Amino acid sequence: MQVWKFGGTSVGKPERMKSIQQLVTSDDEQKIVVLSALSGTTNSLLMIGEAAKKNEDIAAEKHVNELFTHYETFVSELFTTKEGLKKGNAIIENEFNHIRSLTTIKPFTIKHDKMLVAQGELLSTQIFAAYLVEQKISSVLLPALEFMRIDADNEPILSEIEYRLKELLAFHEDKKIIVTQGFICRNPRGEVDNLKRGGSDYTASLIGAAVRAKEIQIWTDIDGMHNNDPRIVKRTFPVRELTFEEAAELAYFGAKILHPSTINPAKLRDIPVRLKNTMEPSAPGTVISKTQTSSAGIKAISAKDNVTAIYIHSTRMLNAYGFLRKVFEIFEKFKTPVDMITTSEVSVAVTIDNNENLDKISKMLGQIADLEESDQDQSIICIVGSFLADKPNIAIRVLEAMKDIPIRMISYGASEHNMSLLVDSKDKNAALEALNEGLFTFE
């Protein structure tokens, strides 16, 4: 069994959906196919939700109508038979009736917003499943809301996902393609919820781990993980192999190609993750696994934005123990993860990416230490690879490349495969470009 996930651009046009059908049926292996919403749909639904929240009924209706027209055209170009088209139209009529009724609920709460945003994946999967039926492919649509579960901390519950999926899959052993929704899930209150933006990657990995798949494939619009952010840096190239640790680090620190948590379930069950390009299926992509054959050295760079640096000073820290524990207990109390940390004898600097409780955290920290004003709009630049062999050189090469760009924090040595720098976000693009030129060689 394999799990293949297709992102928004991979299903965003009728001809792409047709080529996905060809891809998933190109061999006889049973597959769970996880789909995102068609590209642009999630953003549109969020916009509709915004309008509904503000009671802007006319604006909400206008956006809904525009989206409906898009789906009408999509369906008319996808299906090839009269019955198929009838089924496609029935699906979108039904879904858009539901979308319309959601947007008229007052007051329109977060709960309704989450139900609304889930419609993107519900639409794409129903349309694709109907297309597979039209093409006479042995297939079934398995609703993710019946098995994807998160806990009160919004963490997926793998054990529950596993037993629910096992029970459901037992009814469909004869089916070649099992289609399901990425992104969406239910929370402990039984409400529709989601795994946050880009969450379909995470769904695929969770399902892969749950069914102990042979491989998890993430199909997108680029040939694998590149050595740097191709949206920002001019010359990038695909990295053919990454370890779980390297890929997890890159995803967590901003490589948009993967949702930040994607690698964890796959790593837990030692299942290789392959990143593939839907537009160019024969391209090798990137394999993420436990071991690697490629040589050591710097592999890739990523950057994470919206980071805040907090500077904590304590004269009492001199020769003191227990101070760091007290500091971290405060972050724990407010369920705020710390990403980077650097220390001197009397000072600690940490970064967080969630400012929701910054005021409360600062107030409590202020009771045990002196605080300098925190810096917002910072970016963590993460340099990833296997540094063991090249250890003496890595830091020098990084700092040399960064010589014209102010660095706020440096974290190095915690593992053999990561070095992180904190820079002001306005310097991020220049830093990524400078590191690209300084650390990689190009043919």
The distance of Cα 174 from the centroid of its chain, to the nearest Å, equals 32
- Residues numbered 112 to 141 that lie near ligand ASP (CB under 6 A) are 120
Residues that bind Mg ion (CB under 5 A): 7, 198
225 binds, among ligand ADP, Mg ion, ligand ASP, none (CB under 5 to 8 A by kind): ligand ADP
* Residue of minimal Cβ distance to ligand ASP: 200
Measured torsion, CA atoms of residues 40, 42, 43, 44, in degrees rounded to the nearest 10: 80
234 binds, among ligand ASP, Mg ion, ligand ADP, none (CB under 5 to 8 A by kind): none
Question: By C-beta, is 95 or 433 nearer to ligand ASP?
Answer: 95
Q: Which of 18, 175, 256, 326 binds ligand ADP (CB under 6 A)?
A: 256
Residue 257 binds ligand ASP, judged by CB under 6 A: no
Q: Give the per-residue contact string, 25-54, with ligand ADP (x = CB under 6 A; - = no).
A: -----------x------------------
Residue 378 Cβ vs Mg ion, minimum distance, rounded to whole Å? 24
Stretch that binds ligand ASP, among 36-44, 71-79, 206-214, 383-391 (CB under 6 A): 36-44
Q: Are 18 and 111 in contact (CB under 8 A)?
A: no
230 binds, among Mg ion, ligand ASP, ligand ADP, none (CB under 5 to 8 A by kind): ligand ADP
ω into 107 cis (within 30 of 0): yes
Stretch that binds ligand ADP, among 168-176, 226-234, 339-347, 399-407 (CB under 6 A): 226-234
- Residues numbered 285 to 304 that lie near ligand ADP (CB under 6 A) are 302
Q: Are 277 and 220 in contact (CB under 8 A)?
A: yes
Residue 70 Cβ vs ligand ADP, minimum distance, rounded to whole Å? 17
Residue 198 Cβ vs Mg ion, minimum distance, rounded to whole Å? 4
Contacts of 248 (CB under 8 A, 6+ apart): 263, 264, 267
Q: Give the per-residue contact string, 269-308, with ligand ASP (x = CB under 6 A; - = no).
A: ----------------------------------------
182 binds, among ligand ADP, Mg ion, ligand ASP, none (CB under 5 to 8 A by kind): ligand ASP
Question: By C-beta, is 368 or 430 nearer to ligand ADP?
Answer: 430
Closest C-alpha among 251, 240, 252, 255 to residue 289: 240
Q: What b/e string do you get for 278-308 counting C-beta neighbours within 10 Å, with b at 16 or more?
A: beeeeeebbbbbeebeeeebbbbbbbbeebb
Contacts of 226 (CB under 8 A, 6+ apart): 236, 237, 238, 239, 257, 300
Residue 231 Cβ vs ligand ADP, minimum distance, rounded to whole Å? 5
Task: Assign 393 to helix, strand or coil.
Answer: helix
Size of the site for ligand ADP (CB under 6 A): 18
Rg (CA), the chain: 24
Q: How far apart are CA 438 and CA 235, in angstroms?
A: 12
Residue 231 binds ligand ADP, judged by CB under 6 A: yes
37 binds, among ligand ADP, ligand ASP, Mg ion, none (CB under 5 to 8 A by kind): ligand ASP
Residue 7 binds ligand ADP, judged by CB under 6 A: yes
For 188, phi then psi, to 5°, come to -60, -20
Residue by residue, DSSP assigns 405-443 as S--SEEEESSSTTEEEEEEEGGGHHHHHHHHHHHH----
Strand 370-386 and strand 297-313: the pairing is: antiparallel
Q: Which of 226, 267, 304, 428 binds ligand ADP (CB under 6 A)?
A: 226
Q: How far apart are CA 204 and CA 35, in angstroms?
A: 9
CA distances from 104 to 53, 56, 90, 115, 175 (A): 10, 10, 22, 13, 39
Stretch that binds ligand ADP, among 40-48, 217-225, 333-341, 347-355 (CB under 6 A): 217-225
Q: How far apart are CA 90 and CA 302, in angstroms?
A: 43
Q: How far apart are CA 148 and CA 151, in angstroms?
A: 10
Q: How many CB atoms lie within 10 A of CB 332?
A: 12
Q: Which of 12, 14, 49, 182 binds ligand ASP (CB under 6 A)?
A: 182
Q: Which of 198, 238, 260, 285 binds ligand ASP (CB under 6 A)?
A: 198
Q: Which of 183, 252, 253, 440 binds ligand ASP (CB under 6 A)?
A: 183
Task: Assign 339 to helix, strand or coil.
Answer: strand
Residue 276 Cβ vs ligand ADP, minimum distance, rounded to whole Å? 10
| Contacts with ligand ASP, residue ranges (CB under 6 A) | 7-8, 36-37, 42, 120, 182-183, 197-200
| Contacts with ligand ADP, residue ranges (CB under 6 A) | 7-10, 36, 198, 220-222, 225-226, 229-231, 255-257, 302
